[in-house]
């Protein structure tokens, strides 16, 4: 693909990013031109054209930061979007943020603007306001708390997770993927060991809003049908509605698997175990005879990925590491391997799971095949929804569209 073709695939993303970083129309237009010129001049240096979108977004971010540096003659630092609700991805959020800022005293509003919009460090704010850094830190603490008190409560989905998906970039690397011990529960991100806790959330696209949150806890040991594991509770929240689901999970030296699951349905607590056949295995069984998902990840060559084109040796359910990436999210860059799952977690779906050297998921992305039924959101196909405009992968010749992302509070610890 040439530069023009690559840019057309992500034009709206670049324009939206600049729009919500830069308030003045004339400044935005100038910056967009500078971004295009710089990207065009450096296009030949991009070896993996499939990484064009995160590459040009990184150029856009740098240009926006340069804009603020030139205006305020200061050095910027990475934004920390985990403290305040995201302010640069959705018009509704911007309106709520600006309405809340307008209610704050001028001193508090100015301090938050310096820290979050202009992305200054505490030291830089201290120098600009001519007050001690300790005073800046204290005042910023009170300003954030005051902001939270005034911010519309329905916009905050979880005390531990942002209300909107943070911006991120994924840059593929030529280096060999590292081997890693991955002990998380398949699809639920918690390592099933006594005392562990985790919060995580689902973010729908293209809106990037938080659709569901989960609070996970490991409550102690359990045994079922002679097999020992741990009790896991998952409290799912959708708006004001909550549902509690319980698991018994088992972690061995080589695999992690589900032994049982229970949830309430129509006022009745329903239990399923690994002995209940398809009623359990179709939802919670992984691997031959429910041996579980492998915990030792190493690239096996079962899946080949070239940009957004993915092929497998056979059109069957398969999971494998496909490459190594730098994932930058919430102001921090993680060295990760990308674990792709084609159909094993859920039929008709493709997932990307970016796992760091600690064996923890940094980012999880789900794609649905074009002709797969999209049951959970009330529509039957991707064609009759906004999802048709989302990013897509070509998997064994079949188009798959990005549906939603997941992140956990591991990013904010």
- Cα angle 265-220-272, degrees, rounded to a multiple of 5: 30
pLDDT in tens, 157-200: 445 688 888 889 999 999 999 999 999 999 999 999 999 999 99
Query: What are 375's two structure tokens?
Result: 């049951």
Pick the CATH number of 173-412 from 2.60.40, 2.40.360, 2.30.30, 1.10.3470: 2.40.360
pLDDT in tens, 277-299: 888 887 888 887 788 899 999 99
Q: What is the mean pLDDT of the chain?
A: 81
Least confident of 149-158, 160-169, 235-244, 317-326: 149-158
Mean pLDDT of 143-162: 65
The percent of residues above 70 in pLDDT, for the chain, comes to 82
When pLDDT is cut at 50, 70 and 90, the band that residue 77 belongs to is very low
Question: Which tops the pLDDT comparison, 345 or 252?
Answer: 252
> What are the contacts of 37-42 at 24+ separation with CB within 8 A?
38/63, 39/3, 39/7, 40/3
Q: Pick from 208, 173, 172, 171: which is nearest to 59 by CA?
A: 171
What's the pLDDT at 82? 39
> What are the contacts of 106-112 at 24+ separation with CB within 8 A?
107/139, 108/139, 108/142, 108/143, 108/146, 108/147, 109/143, 111/136, 111/139, 111/140, 111/143, 112/84, 112/140, 112/143, 112/144, 112/147
User: Into which CATH architecture does domain 3-72 fall?
Assistant: Orthogonal Bundle (1.10)
CB atoms within 10 A of CB 81: 22
| pTM value surpassing 0.85 | no
What's the pLDDT at 141? 78
Question: Which tops the pLDDT comparison, 68 or 181?
Answer: 181
Q: Which residue has the tokens 């329903």?
A: 270
When pLDDT is cut at 50, 70 and 90, the band that residue 366 belongs to is very high
Q: Which residue has the tokens 């995580």?
A: 200
Question: Which tops the pLDDT comparison, 324 or 79?
Answer: 324
What's the pLDDT at 96? 58
| Helical axes 122-129 vs 133-150, angle rounded to 10° | 100
Question: Which tops the pLDDT comparison, 276 or 83?
Answer: 276
Pairing, β 303-306 against β 309-312:
antiparallel
Calpha distance 357→19 (Å, rounded) = 35
Calpha distance 275→261 (Å, rounded) = 12
Q: Pick from 390, 345, 349: which is nearest to 366 by CA?
A: 349
Least confident of 41-50, 298-307, 351-360: 41-50
Calpha distance 30→138 (Å, rounded) = 38
Calpha distance 185→410 (Å, rounded) = 15
- Cα angle 217-220-221, degrees, rounded to a multiple of 5: 130
Spatial neighbors of 218 by CB under 8 A, at least 6 apart, are 190, 192, 193, 194, 195, 196, 197, 230, 231, 232
| pLDDT of 84 strictly over 60 | no
What's the pLDDT at 118? 64
Q: Pick from 255, 260, 256, 230: which is nearest to 245 by CA?
A: 260
Query: What are 139's two structure tokens?
Result: 């005042």
265's enclosing H/E stretch is strand 255-265
Q: Give me the residue spans of the domains in the chain.
A: 3-72, 173-412
Spatial neighbors of 45 by CB under 8 A, at least 6 apart, are none
| pLDDT of 379 strictly over 80 | no
Calpha distance 281→18 (Å, rounded) = 46
Q: Which residue has the tokens 């040439």?
A: 2
């Amino acid at each position: 693909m040439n530069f023009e073709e690559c840019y057309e695939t992500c034009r709206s993303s670049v324009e939206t990013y600049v729009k919500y970083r830069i308030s003045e129309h004339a400044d935005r237009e100038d910056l967009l031109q500078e971004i295009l010129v710089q990207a065009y001049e450096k296009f030949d240096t991009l070896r993996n054209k499939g990484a064009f979108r995160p590459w040009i977004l990184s150029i856009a971010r740098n240009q926006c930061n340069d804009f603020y540096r030139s205006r305020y003659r200061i050095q910027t630092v990475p934004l920390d979007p985990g403290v305040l609700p995201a302010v640069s991805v959705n018009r509704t959020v911007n309106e709520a943020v600006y309405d809340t800022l307008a209610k704050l005293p001028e001193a508090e509003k100015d301090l938050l603007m310096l820290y979050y919009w202009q992305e200054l460090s505490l030291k830089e704010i201290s120098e600009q306001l001519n007050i001690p850094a300790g005073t800046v830190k204290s005042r910023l603490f009170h300003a954030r708390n005051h902001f939270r008190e005034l911010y519309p409560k329905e916009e905050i989905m979880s005390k531990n997770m942002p209300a909107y998906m943070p911006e991120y970039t994924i840059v593929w690397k030529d280096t060999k993927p590292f081997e890693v011990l991955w002990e998380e529960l398949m699809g639920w991100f918690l390592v099933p060991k006594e005392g562990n806790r985790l919060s995580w959330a689902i973010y729908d696209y293209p809106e990037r809003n938080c659709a569901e949150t989960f609070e996970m806890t490991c409550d102690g040991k359990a045994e079922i049908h002679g097999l020992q594991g741990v009790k896991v509770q998952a409290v799912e929240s959708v708006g004001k509605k909550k549902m509690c689901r319980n698991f018994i999970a088992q972690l061995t030296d080589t695999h992690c698997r589900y032994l049982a699951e229970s949830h309430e349905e129509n006022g009745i607590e329903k239990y399923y175990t690994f002995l209940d056949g398809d009623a359990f295995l179709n939802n919670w069984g992984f691997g031959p005879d429910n041996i579980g998902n492998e915990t030792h990840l190493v690239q096996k060559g079962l899946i080949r990925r070239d940009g957004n084109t993915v092929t497998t040796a056979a059109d069957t359910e398969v999971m494998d590491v496909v490459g190594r990436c730098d994932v930058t999210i919430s102001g921090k860059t993680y060295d990760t391997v990308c674990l792709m799952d084609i159909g094993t977690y859920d039929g008709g779906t493709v997932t990307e799971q970016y796992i760091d050297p600690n064996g923890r998921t940094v980012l999880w992305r789900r794609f649905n095949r074009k002709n797969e039924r999209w049951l959970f959101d009330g529509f039957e196909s991707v064609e009759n929804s906004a999802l048709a405009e989302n990013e897509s992968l070509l998997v064994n010749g079949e188009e798959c569209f990005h549906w939603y992302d997941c992140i956990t509070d591991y990013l904010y610890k």
